[in-house]
């Protein structure tokens, strides 16, 4: 485990490495607070048009995997429900207002060795809006799920393969 934090968020004491329940953890040397490094939760919107194409987002310059494509996605805020997060992130990135219909897939993402995330993909329905690239996106396109552009994330590949399999 690469140490990313050095001081306790509760009291400011130094964090020390300790073995707890067979796992290496960082524990505060002053107050005993255990620093759990949990994954961050992300959401993604599977948006299909009447032709069965899926909306794909090209990642903006400055982001990890810039210039590569992904299913529109983003992080859940600390105090935010996952349904609200997928609606918010979709509107920020695509200009579309969507309704989440169902959880379609859940995957652990190990794309970034410094940050483990858990992604939740939702099937959605467009309610309103116009497709316009926004926050974190430089381009949007409707893509055939059988012939997607070069993808940023392996987990999006899994989701597309699952969609293809479900349609057979």
List the catalytic residues: 139
Q: Return the beta strands (E) in the chain as ranges.
A: 15-20, 23-28, 34-35, 40-46, 54-59, 69-70, 73-75, 96-112, 115-129, 137-143
Cα distances (angstroms) measured from residue 42 to each of 9, 57, 62, 83: 23, 15, 19, 11
Tell me how far apart the alpha carbons of residues 160 and 44 are, in angstroms, rounded to a whole number. Answer: 12
Task: Say how many Å lie between the first and final Cα of the chain, rounded.
Answer: 43
Interior angle at CA 120, CA 140 and CA 139, nearest 5: 10
Long-range contacts of 161-166 (CB under 8 A, 24+ apart): 162/104, 162/105, 163/46, 163/54, 163/104
């Amino acid at each position: 485990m690469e140490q990313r934090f050095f001081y306790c968020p509760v009291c400011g004491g130094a964090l020390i490495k300790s073995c707890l329940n067979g796992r290496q953890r960082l524990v505060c040397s002053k107050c005993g607070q255990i620093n759990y490094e949990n994954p961050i939760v992300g959401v993604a919107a599977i948006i299909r048009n009447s032709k069965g194409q899926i909306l794909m987002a090209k990642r903006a310059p400055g982001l990890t995997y810039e210039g590569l494509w992904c299913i529109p996605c983003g992080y859940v805020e600390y105090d935010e429900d996952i349904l609200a997060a997928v609606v918010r992130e979709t509107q920020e990135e695509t200009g579309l207002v969507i309704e989440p219909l169902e959880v379609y897939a859940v995957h652990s993402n190990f794309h970034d060795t410094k940050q483990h995330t858990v992604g939740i993909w939702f099937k959605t329905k467009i309610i309103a809006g116009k497709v316009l690239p926004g926050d974190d996106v430089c381009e949007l396109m409707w893509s055939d799920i059988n012939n997607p552009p070069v993808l940023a994330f392996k987990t999006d590949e899994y989701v597309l393969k699952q969609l293809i399999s479900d349609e057979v």
